[in-house]
Structure 1
């Protein structure tokens, strides 16, 4: 357990490694993750969404009330400063590795557009079967355009996440579902990049009417922030939330990571953390 978490935060565990360059992922455990500020159940039934084809990973997420997303540390990026494609590992509530994600992007986009770069993100299970994919568009070198992340499952678009210029809210629209979700950036994330470092930051998830149905939490990276921009996120939600919405909140975490935490020493719209 990291000793660098602030005592005021209810989120105690940061599963990033403490020794470099070795990167140890969270280990499977018998007890589920303890979730602060948990939402027990959905306030009403959500309808109209597309059902996902069952897999072992999908079934595990359907039975979970939280997920942990760990970004892999890239030694080449640390040693050279050259931006490399991001890689992630998704863990369920028992810290079992269930999904793997990797970024597909152009070298020049990573070098020039930095955290605003467009990308495709592919997510696979243990058998290397693609479970879903996401595409970011609207970013790039133009800081005046809205940001979009569209998610696909088995060739069908299942949802779009949108953030307008200078807006601190991300709006999630699920295909076929009349209910809109809003993910709100905390004040510390909206302020200067220096205010985002060394903090546990919670992005609450609301439905229409202002009812909270979960959170996306960036855990305090501790002293790891000095050597890497890799982060750990916890996503929690009611266990009875439709699995497709859980998966879309997981995808939303990637855009939050890019928007606020991806780069080092860069300023601008949706800037990043100084490490």
Structure 2
């Protein structure tokens, strides 16, 4: 045997070892229950707690919408802008939304043009984006129809995941905001109080409620602008409380939150820049 043949026969790279796999039987797949429209029937179900339990700690909701669904009120705090206070230059508005436990659940900020903020002031058009604690966008609102022309109607349309979910409208010389929910035939009306329609100096130094009515005249909620106190003289930042029934649909609660932003722009945005209570009113 030659040297070449002897080397090739003893080389481990020339041997093709093919492993033999034994095919194992597959385990049976798990059969998951299918969705159904009606809840399952639980035998011997207990409808309500027989005793009242106290002293336990509440678990935080998994999302902002879950927290709003369980709340009967929201607090909206407008952030103070130091640059705006020192220079008088209008900056984009920012807001923080708290639930009924005063936990921060939402953040909103305005997106607008510098010239619109300088020229159109409280009638400027803008986009308002809302985020949760995870910095994920939850909703957006667009105001249009305002601008420098005071003879046009005012609109605020709210968007959720690319779909329009509600429209808030206020006609010229009207002190009512009309809220229409997408796919819902019921219309809501938010009425501005007399203090917001009278002398601008009066509308800024008091707690002003904006009641919310449903068709037929029943009151279903209230948007309250709290008295800013001494902060009134240095800033136009305000705080609002939104009251509504706990079982109100979440989408309507969110639209009332969007209406709070438009109320803030319409009546309380230009204070401090052009004198006391310098708000454009009709």
State the TM-score, normalizing by the size of structure 2.
0.76
Q: What is the rounded CA distance, in whole Å, between the counterparts of 2:62 and 2:126 in structure 1?
A: 26
Within a 5 Å distance, the mapping from 1:129-208 to structure 2 comes to: 129-208=136-215
Which residue is 2:47 aligned to? none
Within a 5 Å distance, the mapping from 1:83-162 to structure 2 comes to: 83-162=90-169
Which residue is 1:263 aligned to? 270
- Note the aligned Cα RMSD (angstroms): 1.4
Per-residue Cα deviation, 1:230-265 (whole angstroms, up to 9, x for no partner): 000000100000000000000000000000000023
Instruction: Give the match's secondary structure for 1:194.
Output: coil
Within a 5 Å distance, the mapping from 1:23-42 to structure 2 comes to: none
Instruction: Give the match's secondary structure for 2:260.
Output: helix
The alpha carbon displacement at 1:192 in A equals 1.6
- Structure 1 pair 199/149, CA: closer, same or farther in 2 (3 Å)? same
Which residue is 1:5 aligned to? none
Higher relative contact order (CA 8 A, sep 6+): 1
Structure 2 alignment gaps of length 5 or more:
1-56
Residue pair 2:267, 2:280 contacting (<8 A) in 1 also: no
Q: What is the rounded CA distance, in whole Å, between the counterparts of 2:117 and 2:152 in structure 1?
A: 18
Query: Which protein has the larger Cα radius of gyration, Structure 1 or Structure 2?
Result: 2
Residue pair 1:174, 1:245 contacting (<8 A) in 2 also: yes
The alpha carbon displacement at 1:197 in A equals 1.7
Residue pair 1:143, 1:269 contacting (<8 A) in 2 also: no
Which residue is 1:38 aligned to? none
Residue pair 2:267, 2:279 contacting (<8 A) in 1 also: no
Residue pair 2:197, 2:281 contacting (<8 A) in 1 also: no
Which residue is 1:3 aligned to? none
Instruction: Give the match's secondary structure for 2:90.
Output: coil
Q: What is the rounded CA distance, in whole Å, between the counterparts of 1:55 and 1:132 in structure 2?
A: 17
Residue pair 1:113, 1:141 contacting (<8 A) in 2 also: yes
The alpha carbon displacement at 1:267 in A equals 4.6
Which residue is 1:247 aligned to? 254
Number of matched pairs? 219
Per-residue Cα deviation, 1:72-110 (whole angstroms, up to 9, x for no partner): 000000000000000000000000000000000000000
Q: Which runs of 4+ in 1 moved over 2 A?
A: 264-270
Structure 1 alignment gaps of length 5 or more:
1-29, 32-53, 271-275
The alpha carbon displacement at 1:198 in A equals 1.4
